[in-house]
Amino acid sequence: MIIYELHTGTFTQEGSFEAIIPRLSHLKELGVNAIELMPVAQFPGNRNWGYDGVFPFAVQNSYGGPMGLKMLVNACHVRGISVILDVVYNHIGPEGNYLQDFAPYFSQKYHTYWGPAINFDAPYSSEVRNYFIQNALFWFRCYHIDALRLDAVHAIFDMSAKHFLQELSEAAEAFSAAEGRKRYLIAESNLNDVRIIRPKEQYGYGIDAQWCDDFHHALHALLTGEREGYYKDFGTIEHMRGAVQSGFYYDWKYSHYRKTYFGSSTRGVEAFRFVVCSQNHDQIGNRLDGRRLSMLLPFEAAKLAAAAILLSPFVPLLFMGEECAADTPFYYFVSHSDEQLIRAVREGRRKEFQVFELKGDFPDPQEAGTFAASKLDWKKRSEGKHGTMLELYRTLIRLRTELPALKRLNKDGVRVKEQGSTPLLVYTRTWEDNCVLCIMNFSTETRKWSLDEPDFSWSKRFDSSDESWSGPGAAAPSVLKFGESIETPPYCFLVYERNRTK
């Protein structure tokens, strides 16, 4: 999969399912074969990220309702694009939430950041578990959704002998077998716990894949220099090397942010079980200024961020507009009607920013202008450096399909070359007789590197410094041979393919 996360309300000016359809040809041309919709379960008002949904079986009316979603899914499938839907099973939104009036849907044993936890292990929890399992099957059966992204599973509290996630994965597996086509479950988790993605035969929960925070945090901290909040645990080239090699850097290492040892080893876990990104809705929208990575970095560094994701051995996820270095922000926005709740949201955002030591004014989440400012500007997509970035993404995605070593998602085929503290990331990816060499300079200075393998020569497939990519000019040789020293300009990345003859 090449996953493309989008928010229905801001992906187009119209903000509807139907308005997405004419844009699918652009995504197909880019190389995207799966779109991931942020939550569409009915929420209060007409603008929201979707995580305040209160009717899990209803489709947001302001987006086009049930028929609009079905039209979009059909249009995607005709074009060979899968549809992933973001669902929220860890909490229900605060406004319009009446589930507690009908049954014990909520637990008093636990509390989440967003309010009362769902009752997954207290009395009558079996019926509650079934409610959410049937919701997952509902999206598969009635809307032909191909995969579900499970929001913040670390906030699903369950001390049962069989965790809710395992029961959910078993239900999805049974449904897939009956239908003759695999449906997938992808978790968002900040636990670095491989039990979530290990198959049940290995005493795991059987979830197919999960978002990999360590990869994002390592890349973001290294490129931006930010060290606030959870970025405190990252920022060196060693973090990036570990993330490329294993997915999780923290595999029972000490976390200064958490002040304890954290994470588990990914040894034996397949690479396709990790979804990586350089940015997503959370990492942009939860910033004080809502700025994208391309708005924080020099153009050369933004190109390097793209390469780090698309050349990795994991499943890449792009956030809408990233592929063309969009310069529109993506803010957090709501349209609640309860004044007390609106004040609470504003205060909550202020406290969140304090954790990251961010000070200053931020766009009011309740204001319609905040939502409007977050809409993509499609007119700039092919202009100047926007167009250059778009072509860069398109070319890197094409390389992933052309070169077997890049196409095959295989951690065992990754060999990271030790460079000490030098901010160079050098690694090979190998599949059968195909081998690709990736050289990435995460420094503001030119760095030298020499090939230490005497038996082969390598042909250059990509050089981000080339003037065709708005770079300073290519200096690396077209053919790389043993002992030859090459210079990599600041934020440059190079891709070489090993020649088949010695």
Pairing of strands 55-59, 115-118: unpaired
234: amino acid identity, one letter: F
Total Cβ atoms within 10 A of residue 354: 10
Query: Is the whole-model pTM more than 0.75?
Result: yes
Tokens of 437: 């060499």
Give catalytic status of residue 463 as yes or no. Answer: no
CATH number of 413-498: 2.60.40.1180
Give catalytic status of residue 151 as yes or no. Answer: yes
d(CA 312, CA 409) in angstroms, rounded, equals 8
∠ at Cα 34 (330, 157), nearest 5°?
70
Which of the residues 188, 213, 233, 322 is marked catalytic? 188
Q: What is the pLDDT of residue 360?
A: 62
Number of helices (H), then strands (E), belonging to the chain: the values are 15, 22
Tens-level pLDDT at each residue, the chain (502 residues): 999 999 999 999 999 999 999 999 999 999 999 999 999 999 999 999 999 999 999 999 999 999 999 999 999 999 999 999 999 999 999 999 999 999 999 998 998 888 789 999 999 999 999 999 999 999 999 999 999 999 999 999 999 999 999 999 999 999 999 999 999 999 999 999 999 999 999 999 999 999 999 999 999 999 999 999 999 999 999 999 999 999 999 999 999 999 999 999 999 999 999 999 999 999 999 998 999 999 999 999 999 999 999 999 999 999 999 999 999 999 999 999 989 888 888 887 777 766 555 556 789 999 999 999 999 999 999 999 999 999 999 999 999 999 999 999 999 999 999 888 899 999 999 999 999 999 999 999 999 999 887 878 999 999 999 999 999 999 899 999 988 889 999 999 999 999 976 5
d(CA 315, CA 56) in angstroms, rounded, equals 28
Tokens of 412: 């065992």
CA dihedral 255, 260, 261, 263 (to 10 degrees): -70
Closest CA to 39 of 18, 19, 23, 55: 55
Q: Do 403 and 497 contact (CB within 8 A), yes or no?
A: yes
Angular region, 234: left φ>0, alpha ψ -120 to 50, beta rest: beta
Domain boundaries, the chain: 3-87+163-173+187-400, 88-162+174-186, 413-498
Superfamily of domain 3-87+163-173+187-400: Glycosidases (3.20.20.80)
Total Cβ atoms within 10 A of residue 29: 10
243: amino acid identity, one letter: A
Contacts of 340 (CB under 8 A, 6+ apart): none
Alpha-carbon separation of residue 51 from 39, 248, 459 (angstroms): 6, 26, 47
Q: What are phi and psi of 275, to 5 degrees?
A: -105, 125
d(CA 220, CA 217) in angstroms, rounded, equals 5
- Mapped to the 3 state alphabet, what secondary structure does 189-207 carry? CCCCCHHHCCCHHHCCCCC
Tokens of 263: 């994470």
Closest CA to 65 of 42, 88, 92: 42
Which of the residues 151, 300, 323, 497 is marked catalytic? 151
